[in-house]
Each structure stands twice: as C-alpha cells, then as structure tokens.
Structure 1
C-alpha cells in the first residue's frame, strides 16, 4: 500500500525510501556536517584578518573575495541541510538543534563579511579599475563591482550604515505588530455553515467559505471578516502607515526621491516598468469584465457580488492521479523543452531530489531549495490532485533554474533575483497547461483547466496590479505629506475596486477594508513582481511552443544567468523586453484567447 492511501498520517520511517529525497548527497553523516561547521568557524577568523587591507592591491582583494565565497558556499550547505532535515520531521529534536546552530552560524558569517562592500565602496573608481584590469581573477567579479559602483551614491559612510543596520529591528515594529495581531490576537465570530452548524470563522476557513456553493455562507463569511477588521481600522491604518514611514525614512536617508525608486533600484528597474504594468492592465480591464460576466452567467446570478468571485464555476475532477502518472504528465508537458532539459528533469525525479508524500511532522506546502555545492531538492506533500501535478512542474522549474545557474555561474552569481524567481516555475506550468488542454477529450476537464488558467491570470496579474496601484498611490500621498487615516486608505482601496470590478460586480462597501489584511503591503513594492514574472513566463512559453529551438536556446541563456546580469537584461536574452508594455499585453492576449475558448464551453 502506498503512503498516500493509508488512513493515518504515516511516520517518517514508514514512507518508502524511493519517495524520499536523499540528503546523503549533501552529508553522509552528522560528523561530516560538524567538520564543515568547524571549517566555517576557522574561515570566519581568516576573513576578519582582511579588514583594512582591501585597498592594498588586487591580490589581497581577490584572496578576500575567494575566501568569502568559499565560506558562504559552505555555510549554505550547512544551513540548508540542517533546515531540510528539520523539515522532514519538525518534531525531531536532533534536527531542531542542528537547525538552531546553523542559524547562529549564519549570523556570524554575515557579520564577518559586512565590512567588504563598504570597504570596496571607499576604493577610488580608477584604482578599482586598475585592480580589475591587472587581475584575471578579479575580472570574474566585474558585475559584482558594477553593482557596488552603481549604488555607490546611495551607500553612506561606514558609521551611518552601521546606524541604519542597528535601526532595522526597530523599523520592522509595524510589520511585527501586524503579524502578531493578524495571526495571534485577531478573533473572528462564528457563522453558520451549509448545514446550519455554528463554525468559528478563521483566516484559513475564510477561503473555504468563499468557495462554498451556498451563497448565504459566502456572504456571511465575507461580512463577518471585514466587519471584524473594520473594528480595528484606526490601529491597522497606524500600523500600515508606520511601515510606509519606515520606507520613506530609509529611502530619504539613502538619497532616493521616493520609496518606490529605492525599492526598484535594488533590481536596477526603472519606474517606467512599474508604470507600464499598471497602464497596460488598466487598458485591458474590459477583458476582466468579460470574464466576470461569464462567471455571473455560469453561477446563474442576476448580480455578482465581491463574495461571489472565488466560488468555482467549473467542478474539479475528483480523479486521483498516482505520483508516477503525474511524473509522466509533467515530462510530456515539458517535452517541447528538448532532450537536455528532459534529461535533467528525469535525473531530478530518479536521483533523490524529491521528497514526495506527507508524513507526521513534515513541513507543509511545497518548495525548491538546495545549495551551490549540491543539486537542488524539492519538497512536496503530494495528494494526487491535478493541482499537485502543476505543483511538481512548478517546483521543478525552480529546481532546474538553480541547476542550470549553478552549473554555469561562479558562486558570486548563483543567487537569481526575486524579480525573476517565478519565471521558470511559471513557464513549466504554462507548458504543462497547453499540453493538458491539447490532450483532453473531456469537455468538463477542458473547461476546468481553462478556468484554472484564467484564475491564475486574475490572481497574479489583475489582483496583484491592483495591489501595486494601491501601493503607488498611498506611498506617493505619504511622500507629499498627506495624512493616511483609516478613512483615506479605505476610500482609495474602494475606488480601485470600483475601477477594476464595478462594470460587472456590485462592489460591496465592506471590501474597502481588504487593505488591512494583506501581509504583502508590509513588504512594500513586492507584489508587482508576481505580475511581471507571470507575464514574462507566458510570453516565453508561447515562444517555445511557436518557435522551438531558437526560443529554447534563448531561454536556456536566461536559466544559466543567475545574477550575472540585471534581471531586465537577463529576460531580454530570453526574448522578453519589459522596458516596453509588450510582454504584459501579449500575456493578456493569451488571457483573451483562453476566455474565448471557455465562453464557447459554458
């Protein structure tokens, strides 16, 4: 009997070995892990000796950078292994302790190298150039130096940077307060479920209630949730604006014109990209309205309300897909990528990269992780649904992005930026989707897949861009000295919902409090990256299907790039130019094509 069919959740040692990842590829024993930990502690002592010497010549600078990279690569192995062992069973005290020790070591490692960038900043540019031109080894670090020089005007003196670093814990208070309030203190009322039983509303249950076929349940959950947030509107407004004020403080001190400019500059992105995204989505709102009209028709409602936007309009198949069959589906879906990519994919499936089934104490959800010195790993909690098949494709996209990068780049460029992090995963999902749509003969299954795809567009492009627009308006108002009271925030948010939905939806007044429950607003100007990443992925997958090898070769250049170039320039290599509105428009053209197909089926 397979692990997923037994009724009680199995213990870790009851799972068949072939469904577990092999962390022995990282460390055969804890003794070997302990040896590397000792090595890193020795390297910390060596690194500190370079303080004050980096200006002495190219040889010293190169030595320091090499030692720093060696130490960080080893530290990654130590940290990732300990955390992934803990993720296998969070109740295991051995790996809890290992994980804690790895976290402490990481703090020491990053503290030990904190002098390097400020010291390089203090080297005159002509001297740094002479160092690079006289040393083959330093030429490898050209992009690393370019990035430091590019941001030089925003880097303060060592003492000022130290003060800013020390203030970060205090500046995160707003986010910390919101997190504790939202996750620990906030309690919602009981509502009656479909059977008339009293059930306590929670954030987790809210999603299920909104998907209920009983409209009264949806409405009650919606009203109860936002009424509860509304009771704390002044506190939550103060919390959110406190976070915005921290952003404003750091951007002003670091000589940026605005918080938005400071955030975008971290990835060398111009504000034009952000504005193009919002403008293009605004120009395509009639497409969203068309989809909402179809939703109203499918649900047989005279009037669509905000609490009707998440109930499924096409039933998901209850068919269980065995894991081995899921792997075949993913392999077939990604076959347009060619033999090399499929070869690496199979290697991942067959060589202990993937931890498949849920067990007692295992970390929930799914992720791809690993270290530069190891192959990537993927954690799943496979349940046999079609969504789980998409999750395999998604996480293997991340894994193979890391695999290509680590095979090609030195350690210094092995971390790809968050701006491009979701591209490879979404390319895989898009290719799999096209394969499944082409190969299903069932009208119901096709309708489900089309709607699943449309919901991805709605959640990842339209919704996230509305969030991005809210951030742009509110931060700009704060920058101009305007007060952001609870009423002001709520009115801005309500007006945006009316712009995005009112053509086809009766916009319930309660939605004006939704801003108060979005954790991403405490990581300012992050949400737009979901939309740009998704748009880029749809564009790339289309090119792969239409052009074949030339598009695949371009895309592989992107996969190999890591952080050896700026995100927008890496995407350009793959044929996506986000300096223009075209990729976002092309993605929305795909949305229209899928919508037309679904309209014909419903």
Structure 2
C-alpha cells in the first residue's frame, strides 16, 4: 500500500518558497520593542483628550502623535499575523497574534475621543487653523472624512461605550463562526475515486466540481442535512447580526443599515441600487448560460449541484509556480515596464509564501502595511486556478506598493471598495492574454472561457444575489418582521429561482444556503465583489485594447491610495461607478464570451 503523502512541516519548506519577514523585523526582540513602545504610548494619547480645539498647533500635535502610534501598531500587527498564519500550531505566535489583536483594541479605546472632539471644531474655526498652521493642510482630507459624518458621530462617552462593547455586538458573527468552523459535525462521503472522505466546507467545494454526478449530489445533500438540523439556531445568529446593524444605523441617525454601511466607505447608496438593478436587467444572460450548461452536460434535469462542475470535462492545465510566474509576467506586459519591474521584485525578493505546509493558514491573501513590502500567502497547487490566484494577489500587492510609495502615511492605504478592482483587473488581463494565446487551440480556449464564465457567474451574479438577500432581510427586520428560519428559507428559494431561471431546479436544500454564508455577517460587504469585477472588466478592456493613456489613468488610480473619495479615485481611472455604464460594459464582455463559448460547442 502506498504511503499517505503528508504535508511538510514549516522547517522542511525550502527557504526560497517562504516569505522573508526579516524585512519587517530582524527578530522577535525588535517586535517586542515596538509592541512595548505602542503600549507605553496609549496613556499619553488618552491624556491628549480635550486639547484639539485649543489652537492649531495642538490639533497638529495630536494628529501626528496618533498617526505615529497607529503606524507603529500596524507594523506590529502585520508581523504577528504573518508569523501566526505561516504555522498556526506554534503557541508562541498564537500568543503574539492574540496580544497584537488586544493591543489594537486598546488603541481603538485610547483614541475613541478623537473624532467626537474633532467635531466640536466648527468649519470656520478649521479655516482659521489652516491659516495659522499650514502643516494641517496635509491632513485636510482626513479631517473632512470625519466632518462628513458630523450628524452620525455621537458623544465621547457614547462612542467609548460602543467601542468597548464591540465584542458584544459581534456575538452573532462569532457564534456563527465557532458553530460553522468547529462545532458542526459533517458526515463521511465518497469521492470520485471511491474513497471515503470527511465532508467539510473545503472538501464540499471540491466535490461540487467533480465530473461524477453522484458525487456532487451526495455532497450537496449531506452538507445541507447538517445545516437543516441547525437552521433555527443559525437564523437566530443571523438575526442578532442584522439587529446589530439596524440598531447602530438608527442610533447614528442613518436612514438604513445599508446607508450606514456604505457611508463608512463614502459610497452613495445608488451604487448598490444600480448594481442590483442592472444585474436583474441582465438575468437573461445567466439564464442562457445555465441553459447551455444543461445542454452540454446532457441531463434531463439540471440541479443546483450541477452548476460548478467543469463543462470542458478535463483536468485543469498544469502550471508549476515557476511557469505561472512567467505567464503572469507575460500577461502583465501591457501594464508597462515600471509595473512589471515591481512584479519581478515581488517574485524574486521573497514577498510570497508559496507552498502549503502543515498547520499553515488555508487560502490566499495579500497583506503588509505602509512600512513593509507587500506579502502574499499562497497554498500552491499546479493548476489554472492557482495561476489566477497568483495574478489576483499580485494586483492587490501592486496596489499597496504604488499607494504607499506615492502617498503620505495618512493616505497610503485604500478603501475596501476599490481593493478588489486592482486584483480582478489583473485577472481580466490574464483572461484576455490566454484567449489570445490559445486562439487557435479550441480545447484550451474552451477551458479558459469556461473558467471566465463561471467566475463571472460566481462573482457578479451570485454576489449580487447575496447582496439582494442581505438588503431584504435588513429591511424586513427594520419593519418588525421576525427573521425565522422558515421566512429566510422561503425568500431565499424564491430569489434563487429568479436568478437561475427555469433551466435549473431550485432544490429544496438550496433554501438553506443563506445559513452557511459567512459573508452575511460582514455588513454589506459582498456587493463590492460584484462592482469590483464589473469595473475591472471595463478597466482591463481599456488597458488591453486602448492606448498608453488608459494605462496611465489606471496607474494613477493605484497611486491615489485614499487621497480622495473612492468614487473620485475610480473616476480618475476612467470609471464612474455612480452610473451604470461600467456594468453594461461588463455584461457586453460576458455576452461576447458566452457567444464564443456557445460557438465552440
């Protein structure tokens, strides 16, 4: 019998396939020095309460000291997080990360006075301060973000209570996380090789891609048997979360929880409304794709568990990590030599933690802060999906690199609203590159088109479905409607039927899908996946088929950080996200590629 292949321990991974965290701190002692320095600074920050309105110099001093401590804290936090994630079994780094999280919470409490106190300064007084102390102008946008929320920020004592009660308010999300990740017990199922495997969220997603329909069906039914048993508890945790959002929105004098959530990122509600409206207007394209899926699979009845298996019916093209880096560099040539040089730096200077090791955090992400280079965590597998992951996370990292190198610290980060645009622009550029490269290879072209269409389905259509559900349950709770499991089940199934159309059977189990989606606890987060992908489709098309001006505008967006509102930053890039044009363009591209895919079959 062949020996079961085990994942390597962290110490067994070749050094060149690990990230180099010595660029953050040479050793843990340096981390401890900064940790202690931040800790020691917190009482001093608290003592500055009551000084902001004294004079212009006092406001400048308080602002600069707060940002200096924040900057140091971010470096401490990132180092601890990355150390923990590379091997979550090491108690030393578990403790280091936990201490850093606690320190971040202490910092939040220590500076909770700042915004309420800043709001006591009138616009006229601020004008005088800018004249008296010109250095304050460097922080004007920072102040303006707070002044824009003047009607929604409460008194110092109330803000301090809300900050201190954050753990209580997040109890619904935390309970769901513990139940979903730890306490739910999933049964054993049979994979396509006839092997018994323990069902989990990760295994489930893999089994749904199986070419064996019996495997897909069994995984689907067995997973939802578990959620069915706990749907009333999960309805309670979700209700707690929704009530938290509605309560805070009411307390802060917003018209709705949606308005409150979007206001935090300076996004007008019409961006959300336009997305839902345009996606609903183009559902015929999703219905066409689902009908084509039914035809290609050759089934009498298409079920929800048939929506993720490949329509090409072959294994993914293989890409080693070295091959993937070469493809990524070739695809990104359209971004110009400067951008590519930074990507080469990322690939050669150990910014990436590449392979899976025992106890390493799963998935992939881009991290880092203003005073570090960007870092990427991967769990590399030799396939097309991981090639896309590499170029996706590279998009995030280049965004961070350009923002931190062209903006001062206070504007060196960027809004979460624009974050996914940089990553998915890279993905769309890769798709264009591969379709051109394999234009005379129908088999590979089918594979890439299938990958793109499924990605669009999952990111634009599916995430908007989630967004529509999230908005509805918040509105219903605000009206006094109890969010019982039966109520949630019924609405979710109706919504699912509307999105996927008549060609697929909305199986009874899909009514429970709401109960297992962690993003419903993220406070109107998911819509940004859809707006981001749609905007990225337009930007990538402009870059690939446009001129140098389109590239320059895109690079200016990366360089802008948070120096302007997210909407204005995207306008500079060439996309007005308060209008529907970018969405219509994305659906045009989707329809064109759907036509190509249909023609190939």
Task: Work out the CA distance in 2 between the residues paired with 1:280 and 1:369.
Answer: 33
CA 1:229/1:37 → structure 2, altered by over 3 Å: closer, same or farther?
closer
How much does 1:94 deviate?
4.0
Asked if the contact 2:67–2:410 (Cα under 8 Å) also holds between the matched residues in 1, the reply is: yes
- CA, structure 1 residues 65+323, in 2 after alignment: closer, same or farther (shift >3 Å)? same
Partner in structure 2 of residue 312 of structure 1: 310
Shift of 1:450: 0.6
Structure 1 position 292, deviation (Å): 0.9
1:316-335 pair list within 5 angstroms: 316-317=314-315, 319-335=317-333
Match of 2:485 in 1: 486
Change (3 A) 1:540 1:60: same
For structure 1, the residue ranges without an aligned partner over 5 or more in a row are 1-5
2-structure distance, mates of 1:189, 1:36: 47
Question: Distance between the aligned counterparts of 1:242 and 1:185, measured in 2?
Answer: 19
How big is the shift at 1:352? 2.5
Q: State the match for 1:552 in structure 2.
A: 551
Query: Which residue does 2:248 correspond to in 1?
Result: 250
Report the Cα offset of residue 224 of structure 1: 3.0
Q: 1:84 to 1:184 in 2, by over 3 A?
A: closer
Distance in 1, matches of 2:596 and 2:452, equals: 12
Aligned counterparts of 1:205 and 1:35: Cα–Cα separation in 2: 42
Instruction: Give the whole-Å Cα distance in 2 for the aligned partners of 1:387 and 1:536.
Output: 21
Alignment partner, residue 224 of structure 1: 222
Which range is displaced more, 364-373 or 81-90? Answer: 81-90
Match of 1:383 in 2: 381
Separation of aligned partners in 1, 2:446 and 2:539: 24
Q: What's the CA shift for 1:409?
A: 1.2
Match of 2:49 in 1: 51
- Once residues 568 and 447 of structure 2 are traced to their aligned partners in structure 1, the CA distance between those partners, rounded to angstroms, is 36
Q: Deviation of residue 386 (structure 1)?
A: 1.7
Contact 2:287 2:500 in 1 (8 A): yes
Contact persistence 1:368–1:379 (CA under 8 A): yes
Residues of 1 paired with 2:579 and 2:128: CA distance?
Answer: 37
Residue 408 (structure 1) shift: 1.2
Tell me the distance in 1 between the aligned counterparts of 2:190 and 2:350.
46
Cα deviation, residue 195, structure 1: 6.5
1:526-565 Cα deviation digits (max 9, x unpaired): 1111100111111111111122211111111111111111
The alpha-carbon distance between structure 1 residues 14 and 508, as it changes in their structure 2 partners (threshold 3 A), is closer
Q: Does 1:449 align with 2:448?
A: yes
The residue that corresponds to 1:137 in the other structure is 135
The equivalent of 2:233 in structure 1 is: 235
Map 1:154-169 → 2, pairs under 5 A: 154-169=152-167
Cα distance in 1 for partners of 2:97, 2:483 equals: 42
| Equivalent residue pairs, number | 597
The more displaced of 239-248 and 402-411 is 239-248
Structure 2 residue 259 is matched with structure 1 residue 261:
yes
Q: Which residue of 2 aligns with 1:501?
A: 500
Partner of 1:3 in structure 2?
none
Contact in 2 for aligned 1:317/1:445 (Cα 8 Å): no
**Are residues 1:371 and 2:366 paired?**
no
CA distance in 1, matches of 2:168, 2:491: 28
Relative to structure 1, is the Cα distance of residues 320 and 197 closer, same or farther in structure 2, using a 3 angstrom cutoff? Answer: closer
RMSD: 2.1
The Cα of 1:378 is off from its aligned counterpart by 1.5
**Secondary structure of residue in 2 paired with 1:301:** coil
Residue in structure 2 matched with residue 211 of structure 1 by the alignment: 209
Q: TM-score, normalised by structure 2?
A: 0.94
Once residues 336 and 518 of structure 2 are traced to their aligned partners in structure 1, the CA distance between those partners, rounded to angstroms, is 40
- 1:539 is aligned to 538
Q: CA 1:339–1:186 in 2, change beyond 3 Å: closer, same or farther?
A: same
Deviation of 1:197 (Å): 6.5
Q: Which runs of 5+ in 2 are unaligned?
A: none
Offset at residue 131 of structure 1 (A): 1.1
Q: 5 Å matches for 1:47-446? A: 47-191=45-189, 193-194=191-192, 200-317=198-315, 319-440=317-438, 441-446=440-445
Q: Partner of 1:583 in structure 2?
A: 582
In 1: Cα distance, 2:193 partner to 2:104 partner: 51
The alpha-carbon deviation at position 190 of structure 1 amounts to: 4.5
Given that 1:404 and 1:559 are in contact with CA atoms closer than 8 Å, whether structure 2 keeps it comes out as yes
CA–CA distance in structure 2, aligned partners of residues 48 and 171 of structure 1: 24
**1:69 to 1:343, Cα distance in 2 relative to 1, 3 A:** same
Q: Distance in 2 between matches of 1:397 and 1:306?
A: 32
Is the 8 Å Cα contact of residues 459 and 533 (structure 2) preserved in structure 1?
yes
Instruction: State whether residues 43 and 67 of structure 1, in contact with CA within 8 Å, keep that contact through their aligned partners in structure 2.
Output: no
TM-score for both structures, normalised by structure 1: 0.94
Runs of 4+ in 1 over 4 A off after TM superposition: 189-200, 316-319
Q: Helix, strand or coil for the counterpart of 1:122?
A: coil
What CA deviation, in whole Å up to 9, does each residue of 1:178-201 have, x standing for no partner?
222222333344555556676554
Q: What is the aligned partner in structure 2 of residue 561 from structure 1?
A: 560
Distance 1:164 1:404, change over 3 A: same
Cα 1:593/1:75, change in 2 over 3 Å? same
Residue 95 to residue 457, structure 1, CA distance change in 2 (3 Å): same
1-side partners of 2:370 and 2:108: how far apart? 17
Contact 1:20–1:352, Cα closer than 8 Å, also in 2 = yes
Whether the 8 Å contact between 1:133 and 1:139 is mirrored in structure 2 is no
SS at match of 2:151: helix
Residue by residue over 1:190-232, the C-alpha shift from the partner in whole angstroms, topping out at 9 and shown as x without a partner, is 5555566765543333223322333233223323333432333
Change (3 A) 1:316 1:388: farther
Please state how far the C-alpha of 1:86 moved relative to its aligned partner: 2.8
